[in-house]
Chains A and B, each alone.
Chain A
Amino acid sequence: MNYREAITTITELLDDQLVICANGLISRETFTIRDRTENFYMIGSMGMASSIGLGVALSKPSKKTIILDGDGNLLMNLGSLPMTGSLRPGNLLHIVLDNEVYASTGNQPTISNVIELEEIAKSARYVYVKKVATNEDLRREVVHTLKNDGPSFLLVKISDKEEQREIGRVTHSPEQIKERFMSAIDSKST
């Protein structure tokens, strides 16, 4: 499974859930595959997707909030896992696309080839934790975690090497990304 397949599978299963996309390839790929007003694309503040998602989930408990994170991003803000595990927002789903490299900067290795991020999530008291490596398993687990309370953590192992290709950048301005995301939250609370 490569990045594109994983993000395609995840986004196909969404209706009105809120999604915080980590900066770098995750935001750019998600924007390219399925741009939605419910997507908040990060372009900077690496590591913060999990914290921003936690703030959204805590403040809007009636809405499922999904964090689309990467291994490099999560390793940069590992403290967000115990924060989430201690606060236990049931509406939070944390998906980590783990390709074991910093793909956005040219595939320099992270350390997730030897560090089991799902074990850290378990220790941090996430209610439901799964590791998946195939598209079929990913689809099943996303369906399950969208239906059930969490906080849930899905570690998605990305094994296929990314071919070198051009991926578009998010064309909305940061302010536009924020404004439409806030409108999407608002329209869903009524």
Chain B
Amino acid sequence: MYKSEDFAQELINGGYDFFTGVPCSIIGNLITNLTDRPDVAYIPAVREDAAVGVASGAYMAGKIPVVLMQNSGLGQCLNTLTSLNLIYKLPCLMIVTWRGFEGKDAPEHLVMGRTCNKLLDTIGIPHHDFNHDNIKSLINMSYKLVTENKEPLVLFLKKGIIE
């Protein structure tokens, strides 16, 4: 498994310099690492839409933001994504944990678990999946997509890829 510390470093090396979000157990260590690092700030958000809003403001003030959340949070920020980010062309990288993948999770995760990727297809937000071998390449590619297309990009992260 990839260490959260190394994952955070890849994001920073990749060019990202503003971090906010809402925790999920899958990215618990990653958020702790980002919070503890002296070289970047992690802004704890109270809700996922607030995180996307803060990230959008940070982008306009010159940052390249990352928003971290669980896929349940996609529902919370749907209106912000559709009526702010997609129409103003305000980009951010969204690292979204994929709870409920293949129906193996607690009941509250199952509906979003089988629909979160289709939900993004429906509103027109591109997405890719992390696996054990593509972390560095996906992060580097994401920076290019986010800064050139000026739209949100989701990278799904399933359980068991980072620790």
Name A residues whose Cβ lies closer than 8 Å to a Cβ of B: 20, 40, 42-48, 50-60, 77, 79-80, 82-83, 87, 174-175, 177-178, 181-182, 185-186, 189
Contact = CB atoms under 8 A, between A and B. Distances in A.
Contacts of B60: 40, 52, 55-56, 178, 181-182, 185
B50 A177 contact: no
A42 B90 CA distance: 13
22 contacts: A47-B49, A48-B49, A48-B80, A51-B50, A52-B53, A52-B56, A53-B57, A54-B54, A55-B54, A55-B55, A55-B60, A55-B61, A58-B43, A58-B54, A58-B57, A58-B58, A60-B62, A79-B46, A80-B53, A87-B43, A175-B88, A177-B88
Interface of B is mostly: helix
Interface of A is mostly: helix
Given A51-B50, A52-B54, A55-B55, A185 B84 contact: no
B89 A43 contact: no
Q: Size range of the interface on B?
A: 20 to 34
Residue from A45, A80, A175 with most neighbouring chain B CB atoms (10 Å)? A45
B50 A83 contact: yes
Of all A-B residue pairs in the complex, the 3 with the closest CB atoms, nearest first, are: A55-B57, A44-B83, A51-B53
A56 B59 CA distance: 8
Nearest to B41: A58
A103 to B, nearest CB: 19
A77 B50 contact: yes
B87 interface: yes
Nearest to A82: B46
B115 interface: no
A43 to B, nearest CB: 7
Nearest to B81: A45
B84 A45 contact: yes
B32 to A, nearest CB: 18
A80 B50 contact: yes
A83 B58 contact: no
B53 A48 contact: yes
